[in-house]
Structure 1
Amino acid sequence: MGKNYERLEFLGDTFLKMATTISVYTLYPHENEFEYHVKRMLMLNNKNLFTHAIEKKLPGYIRTRAFDRRTWYPSDLRLKKGKATKAKARRHCLSHKSIADVCEALIGAAYLTGKSNNSMDMAVKAVTAMVSSENHTMINFSDYRARYTTPEWHTYEPNAAQRNMVERIAEIIGYRFQCAPLLRSAFKHSSYVYEEKIRRDYQQLEFLGDALIDMVVVDFLYTRFPEADPKWLTEHKMAMVSNQFLGFLCVKLGLSKHLMLATSSLHSLIREYTAEAKEAEEKAKGCRKPHGNKAAAGSDKGASAEAPSVTLDFWAEIQQPPKALADVVEALVGAMFVDSGYSFSVVQDFFAKFIQPYFEDMSLLSSFASNHPVTVLIHALQEDYRCTQWKLHMASVPPSTDDAGVAILAESELLCALMIHGNVIAHATSTKSGVTAKLTVAKLALKKLESIQDANHFRTEMGCDCGGGGSAAPLN
């Protein structure tokens, strides 16, 4: 029967994120990114998936043990000869997360089933069944566009600046926007308040584009590396969609020149980063590798790619770009998707032309992926200190209230905390995503662990008595 559900769960989790993102963007075109995030989180969290899996009696179909033909017989027949199966052996214990993971694996299986026909309809239907929410009732992929109501400001007559931007962006990416105001909004920073007719900045489109890029990257990795395990896939996906790469891509394509903002400090940071990126690229052009050299995509993944003639990982060696640059790339992809009438092919084309060429040799990412703060933290806790009682705990921050009892939405709504033996070692909040909060916590925790000399010192400081056995708690 092949592999277990882990790879399918990785694929289905990403499609679930994309589907629910498109849905909330479609149904609530006038709401902000925070409201989108809350609505999406209520659909894709493990508790919701588990609840509806129980309603559908899904756990009864989950296999946790191999089939034994010597002890199996139909339950409605009386055994006259042979050894009867003990009642206890018929039962198994499944965690909430395991059942939720199976839900995501089913979505992944539905996606692969329809992929051969270039259709996402079955996967969309699977998402609707699994989340069971009024915020995702679509059955076919075309239902997303059918439910979308175009905002009034999209229909405004474009001015000269907007028409000029359509031409300039078409020259860069090869896609010509039909809705000039929509394109303009993809480059509008929240500090830019000088075009009142453009009612939105890029945050809503960035929220949409982030999920679209995640999906096309995961689909590429899943297909290209059929033997790669979920850990390897996750680490390399994080590198490909990182702010560090997308920020560089924004500068490389010249998209940063069209960013509309009114913050002098951000202007300075972008100029400084642009200069460093150009210098790094010039140096990389002189670093050629021998022709015919093969580079494995992962230590035991059984796949390899021809090494490029010019090193293409120089972007990972320079300073972190301002996040606004990565946001613009994601917003542009989101805007293309909406402008094209919800065509996922425009996202695939953008990926194939501008992102994939940098990742033909995945071995270039091995160092970047393994040095990701979350990966480094997990390795330190599991391998160096042998601690089993730790977890990265995610939770939403409840809104505060004023003296009159009126709820006030907090600026930071997601909380992540590293807990070791019940003690909070580091914590952070984020309005963007759990990934952002988790990254911040990992950096803070690693800084605190710098003073730890060895495993014995760790046990003394953290009150750890794990004894070096077992495996770590899962990330929540």
Structure 2
Amino acid sequence: MITRSHIVNVLCRGNVKQDDLISGIMRSKASMTGIASNREPEDSHPSFLPTEEINEYHISKTGAKITTDSSISVLNQYCDKLPKDKYYTPRPKFQFTHYGDGYECTVTLPSSAMFQLLVGQKARNMQKAKQLVCLDACKRLHQLGALDDHLSPSVEEPPPEISSKSSISTPGAGLGTTKRKELHGTTKVLSMSGSWGSDRSVTKLQGYKLNFVCDQVGQKYSAFVLLIDASIAKEAATLDIDLYLHDKMVKASVSPCGPLELDAWQMEQTKLFQALLFNSLFGKLFIGSKASKTPREFILKKDDVFLWNKENMYLLLPVDSTLDSHKSVCINWSVIDVVATAVGFMRSIYSDGKCNLTDKLNYEKNGEDLIHLANKSCKGNDLKNMVVLAIHTGKIYTIVVVSDLCANSKFDGTTDKKEAKFRTFAEYFEKKYSIFLCHPLQPLLVLKPTHNPHNLLSSKNRDEDNVVENKNRANSLVHMPPELLIPLDLPIDVLRVFYLFPSLMHRLESLMLASQLRSEIAYRDSDISSFVILEAMTTLRCCEDFSMERLELLGDSVLKYAVSAHLFMTFLNKHEGQLSSRRQETICNATLYRLGIERRIQGYIRDAAFDPRRWLAPGQLSRRPCPCECPVNSEVVTEDIHRIDDKSIIIGKACDKGHRWICSKTISDCVEALIGAYYVEGGLKAAFAVLKWFQIETEIEEELIMEALSSASVRNYLPKVDVVELLEAKLGYTFQMKGLLIEALTHSSQQESGATYCYQRLEFLGDAVLDILITRHLFLSHKDTDEGELTDLRSASVNNENFAQVAVKHNLHQFLQHSSGFLQDQITEYVNSLESSSMDRASLLSSGPCRGPKVLGDIVESIAGAILIDSKLDLDLVWRVFKPLLSPIVTPENLELPRFRELNEWSDKNGYFIGIKCENRGDSTMAILNLQLKDLLLVRQGCGKNKVDAKAHAASLLLRDLEEKGLIIPRNASRVEQLEKNSGTVKHCNNVLDVMDTQNVAPPRQKEVAVLSTTTPGSVLDKPLVVKVKLSKGGPRISLYESCKKLQWPMPTFEFVKVEPSVCSSSCGSSQKVAPQGFAFASTITLHIPNGDVISLTGDGRADKKSSQDSAALLMLYELQRQRRFQVQEV
């Protein structure tokens, strides 16, 4: 045996790898020597001696098991999954007690574990005792659900009250997202239904008087009465609404006037009145045509039951103001009888299916200067402003003047149809309508036709729908033989009101639908306004003066708070990570979508702008039918029928059966908006009621609050006894349960010093508390702020960085209890950076952003949670404490957007692109941003702890450069200066394309290129850029836009000019659209090539602006190809 040996290792000088290997061997040797020298006597017994029985914990269901050997590893895995941060890593602690016959081990788990303390069984040595206590801890964790049946750390399962609620099968991904589109039905307004249309006895209907007052003197509107079967909700029955016409405003008001009775004859007359007027104005009185190869038929010739839908039954009748009183209304039967008589005359004309005037025109020949109408003779002076019905078209006109032409005059196309292939007016009516005029020498009448109804509900539409029509009104007058016109003797003030009905009745129906939803929710209907529920049902696509966006933002905060408080109180043993997981599962869009579908709120959502041309009154046929081609068999769709990613789908547009495509997220948003609506109207109690209706459990009983308070009473670890008193004085609030404040100040690293709790659970609750309080404050303080700016205000106020600054401002960080030197260093660095914020701006920009440690924001939230529990959920009290701490709260006047977003928005608005490159450099990130202007390339780099901070730093530097060049107003400039600067908006390429229009774009003509200015050449590409162009509408613009973005060229700008229709290119043949308005548009495109030329080209004339942009863009692409910059490929 060799008793002594020496091993010599020869290493290469400077070989680091071999040095590390030898050092590792030496450390292993020292470790093995130490273990052997400290081994217990029992561990050195021979292997043939009896050993202890191996303990294990076995799960029969899965076959998983834990032995004493693996128990320590499993317990460590469990602790590793507990909430942690870079200042503290949760792990078990072991304490041994020595007895004469062995050792006993006590394990202490982190405060976020399911339990904290467990004493193990005795064992012969410390290692065995440690294994036994770990095995017992694992058993208990499994029994408590912290370990699953595979004995791995449990993943928090969805709350059973959520996962089991929805019985509707919704396969596929994307629930609650904008990408998922679904086909849903529309809920009918039950109050509008009725079966009285076919009654032959006296019918009793509820009456509501409609009054109209115009803001222009002399413009009168007749009063009407709405007759309906059911009583309608109070808000609808007392509605006051402003209707915005082009050059005036009409205030409409609704008021109940009691029940009215109609006998069978009166009912028939009123139905004829309504059917004739609504169809002649907005619908059609004839069905069938030569084109459809069906005989032309007068719809009121016989039974008109098919015109009256039982789901939409009401009457709109004029009121006789001379007999009207405040308590009752008197229907103007004289007007109704005149219109009903006209229907009888039309029936007699079309008795055999064809227009037969010969036998009806029996006029006496006399010497008076009379104009012979279809059923009446009048003096020419009495015709002005008379309302007449054309027997051959079924349309209503107003007589303007008697012309000098007659039916034998040369035909000029100025009738109701612009035809130019007939010699005389008489020939036109003979060949077009098979009508032979009896009085061809009578002077023709100049008529003003009626117009389409407009959306009068929003002031936004005031100058949009009516401008073109008013410009061309003088050109829309037509000539008509008098004998084809039936005088209706309808007062102008009665006729005017019909143009108000589509908008007024749409708003009434919407309010009644909102009341219907309110009745379904069934929470003290009188306390909740139908107007607010209507707002919660209305999306931005409706183009109303209101939408669900603001309520959705508030409802999101209310939902988060309600769920957070309920989870906090209900699950006292769950840590912050588990609570956050359950909260996220409850409030995520996918869950809200399922709950909304369960309650069928998709049918109530209004998701498309009101189109008055598709609105139908009872008894009216649609001029713009949209036949149902949906993949469903019924009118009522109560679940997800079909999901599609087709971008050509028009969201919100309904077919005639009410089916429409809705984004899945819209349903989730409506759930949140309804929660917000009930909170605004009835506070938390009402919000909790609607949450319960959606089957979201949020109720908190008094016993749970007391239990949470009692659990905090054991918090007695406090290194500094005066901490509580000092902080209470600073907050201005005295805690009833001091342990809550102690818990709110204790970081998890303090467990190293013996604490058995930390602030994480209170921080989870306080996060939701401050969210709802600040959002409520912003919502109520800025009622005229749009939803986008309100979201920005909330984001600027509710964030960890803002709370961290609040903590430092009020020295709350000095009360933080922790045991991390690294954390202390970071806090000190952050405090110093804030204190030195008075240094010059250039130094701050060069140093980059300094973010506060998350712990500082956390303690602000945890203190808010502690006060809420201590005050037994008094949110108003928490706000009284925190409002001074959070002041000054951001306002629209001092709102500062994130720097990168500010730069991005400026670049988008001015047509520039930002190049972004990020690199990781150790613990930090560097971002390089380059901004190509027309004649200058700006490049800046920033650094930060992550990409967001690095890009923000670089963006700050670029914004400073733009300020110095006068291209952007500094942040400290006055509001007036900013508005003046922002008013000059660059017109750049509009890439909002109509994907439904697949009309081809004509190839470009040869044009002369105008070079406005030339700078030093430096933009010549190494090789031409391959550009693929689609000739469908929008294709050239998209290709040019994407090419500019790829090369970082400024976006092109467009200017429009009007040209004669003859200038329109016809190179596409029949596919080219003809300008119906009498003029065309030509676009001039200007492209600035950096360090190169400024190219300006004018495209061909087109019927619409976007098509003219396509023409100019395509011309620009081919010009760049001629300059060998691009290689254009048409696809």
Q: Shared fold (TM-score greater than 0.5)?
A: yes
The aligned residue for residue 724 of structure 2 is 166
Residue aligning to 2:856: 325
Q: Who is 2:602 aligned against?
A: 59
Aligned match for 1:126, one of 690, 702, 705: 690
Q: Is the 8 A contact 1:144 1:342 kept in 2?
A: no
1:445/1:46 CA distance change after superposition, 3 Å: farther
C-alpha displacement of 1:223: 1.4
Contact 2:724 2:738 in 1 (8 A): yes
Indicate the residue corresponding to 1:107 in structure 2. Answer: 675
**Which residue of structure 1 lines up, in the alignment, with residue 749 of structure 2?**
191
Whether the aligned pair in 2 keeps the contact of 1:8 and 1:108 (CA below 8 Å) is yes
Q: 1:339 maps to what in 2?
A: 870
| Letter matched to residue 552 of structure 2 | E
Aligned 8 A contact 2:709 2:869 in 1? no
RMSD, matched Cα: 3.8
3-state SS, counterpart of residue 93 of structure 1: strand
Q: Specify which of 827, 842, 845 is matched with residue 270 of structure 1.
A: 827
Q: 1:211 aligns with which of 765, 768, 773?
A: 768
Gap change, CA 1:155 and 1:48, over 3 Å in 2: same
SS in 1 for 2:725: helix
| Amino acid in structure 2 at the alignment position of 1:232 | E
Find the partner of 1:251 among 802, 808, 815. 808
Amino acid at match of 2:745: F
Structure 1: how far apart are the matches of 2:835 and 2:879? 27
Q: Does the alignment pair 1:355 with 2:886?
A: yes
- Structure 1 residue 257: deviation in Å? 0.8
**Cα drift, residue 192 of structure 1:** 0.9
Aligned counterparts of 1:80 and 1:201: Cα–Cα separation in 2: 70
**Superposition deviation, residue 83 in structure 1:** 5.3
**CA apart distance, 1:174:** 0.5
Deviation at 1:236, TM superposition (A): 2.1
The question of 1:33 aligning with 2:564 is answered no
The one-letter code matched in structure 1 to 2:688 is V
Query: For the residues of structure 1 that align with 2:822 and 2:878, how far apart are their CA atoms?
Result: 32
d(CA) in 2 for partners of 1:443 and 1:122? 41
Residue number in structure 2 paired with 1:201: 758
Residues 194-230 of structure 1: CA distance to partner in whole angstroms, max 9, x if unpaired?
Answer: 564x532111111111111111111111112122222
Q: 1:381 Cα deviation (Å)?
A: 8.2
Task: Write the deviation string for residues 55-81 of structure 1: whole angstroms up to 9, x where unpaired.
Answer: 21111111123556775569xx8x576
Q: Give the partner amino acid of 1:248.
A: Q
Give the aligned residue type for 2:773: V
Bigger radius of gyration among the two: 2
Q: Which residue does the alignment assign to 2:1126?
A: none
> Structure 1 residues 381 and 266 mapped into 2: Cα distance closer, same or farther (>3 Å)?
farther
* SS of aligned partner of 1:94: strand
Percent identical residues: 25
Deviation (angstroms), 1:263: 1.1
Structure 1 counterpart of 2:550: 7
Shift of 1:37: 1.3
**Aligned residues of 1:22 and 1:144 also touching (Cα < 8 A):** no
Taking structure 1 as reference, are residues 18 and 44 closer, same or farther at Cα in structure 2, changes over 3 Å only? same
Residue 588 (structure 2) pairs with residue 45 (structure 1): yes
Normalized against structure 2, the TM-score is what? 0.29
In the alignment, the residues of structure 2 paired with residue 186 and residue 204 of structure 1 have an alpha-carbon distance, to the nearest angstrom, of: 9
Q: In 1, distance between residues paired with 2:826 and 2:895?
A: 26
Secondary structure at 1:62 match in 2: coil
The 1:153–1:54 alpha-carbon spacing in structure 2 relative to 1, beyond 3 Å, is: closer
Equivalent pairs, count = 357
1:44–1:82 Cα change, 3 Å: closer
Equivalent residue runs for 1:215-234 within 5 Å: 215-234=772-791
User: One-letter code of the match for 2:820?
Assistant: T
CA displacement at 1:103 relative to structure 2 = 0.8
CA distance in 1, matches of 2:791, 2:600: 30
8 Å CA contact retained: 2:678, 2:690: yes
SS in 1 for 2:880: helix
Pick aligned residue for 1:20 from 563, 567, 570 = 563
Kindly state the Cα deviation for residue 82 of structure 1 after the two structures are TM-superposed. Answer: 6.3
Partner amino acid for 1:365?
L
Paired residue secondary structure (2:743): helix
Cross-structure match for 2:339: none
Q: CA deviation at 1:172?
A: 0.5
Alignment partners' CA distance in 2, 1:159 and 1:351: 26
Q: How does 1:272-421 map to 2 (within 5 A)?
A: 272-280=829-837, 319-359=850-890, 362-366=892-896, 369-371=897-899, 384=912
Could you give the per-residue CA deviations for residues 275-315 of structure 1, whole angstroms, max 9, x where no partner exists?
Answer: 3323437x79xxxxxxxxxxxxxxxxxxxxxxxxxxxxxxx
Normalised by the size of structure 1, how large is the TM-score?
0.65
| CA drift at 1:349 | 1.0
Change (3 A) 1:333 1:59: same
2:785 counterpart SS class: coil
Equivalents in 2 of 1:385, 1:126: separation in Å? 46
Q: 1:93 aligns with which of 658, 661, 674?
A: 661
AA partner of residue 724 (structure 2) = V
> Structure 1 residues 144 and 40, CA, compared in 2 at 3 Å: closer, same or farther?
farther
Cα pair 2:552 2:669 within 8 Å, conserved: yes
Look up the match of 1:424: none
User: For the structure 1 residues 378 and 207, does the alpha-carbon distance in structure 2 shift closer, same or farther, using more than 3 Å as the test?
Assistant: farther
Shift of 1:96: 0.7
Distance 1:377 1:190, change over 3 A: farther
Distance 1:144 1:9, change over 3 A: farther
Q: Is the 8 A contact 2:849 2:953 kept in 1?
A: no
794, 801, 813: which one pairs with 1:237? Answer: 794
Structure-2 separation of matches of 1:362 and 1:50: 32
Following superposition, the deviation at residue 162 of structure 1 comes to 6.9
Q: Is the 8 A contact 2:709 2:870 kept in 1?
A: no
Give the structure with the larger strand fraction: 2
Change (3 A) 1:153 1:380: farther
Aligned-pair CA distance for 1:186: 0.8
- Give, in whole Å, the separation in 2 of the partners of 1:155 and 1:166: 14
Distance in 1, Cα, partners of 2:834 & 2:955? 32
Structure 2 vs 1, CA of residues 155 and 243 (structure 1 numbering), >3 Å: closer, same or farther?
Answer: closer
Unaligned runs of 5+ in 1: 285-316, 387-438, 470-476
- Which residue is 1:404 aligned to? none
**Structure 1 residue 356: deviation in Å?**
2.8
Structure 1 SS opposite 2:562: helix
